[in-house]
């Protein structure tokens, strides 16, 4: 597979490989671009909705994150919304887990 991103390169490639296209040695392929949603992308509105849901739903959301930055965003909004200490402590605990994960450590080790 030859990946060509420039229109000029594409025209050059097509022009100089006409015989290969005719013989079937090279076939045109339309690349399908599939955007994958990252579990770490979340809007402020979605965070607010999650903070208004039951505690276990919030825990499930926190466990989906693989980076610490969205967890800190959740923590900031939770503090702004004046959520309970139970919720704030759960968010802080998840942030700590994610911070220690690259080092192979777990909180309390």
- Which candidate, 108, 79, 104, 103, places its Cα nearest to that of 91? 79
pTM over 0.85: no
Task: Specify whether the backbone of 29 is left (phi greater than 0), alpha (psi in -120 to 50) or beta.
Answer: beta
What is the per-residue pLDDT across 80-96, written as a single tens digit (0 to 9) for each?
Answer: 999 999 999 999 999 99
Using one digit for the tens of pLDDT, what is the confidence trace for 33-55? 777 778 899 999 999 999 999 99
């Amino acid at each position: 597979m030859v990946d060509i991103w420039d229109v000029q390169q594409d025209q050059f490639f097509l022009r100089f490989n006409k015989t290969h296209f005719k013989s079937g040695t090279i076939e045109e392929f339309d690349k399908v671009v599939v955007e994958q949603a990252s579990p770490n992308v979340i809007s402020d509105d979605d965070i607010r909705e999650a903070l208004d849901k039951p505690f276990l739903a919030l825990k499930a959301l926190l466990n989906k994150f693989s980076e610490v930055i969205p967890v800190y965003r959740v923590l900031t909004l939770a503090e702004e919304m004046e959520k309970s200490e139970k919720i704030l402590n759960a968010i802080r605990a998840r942030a700590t887990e994610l911070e220690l994960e690259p080092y192979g450590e777990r909180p309390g080790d």
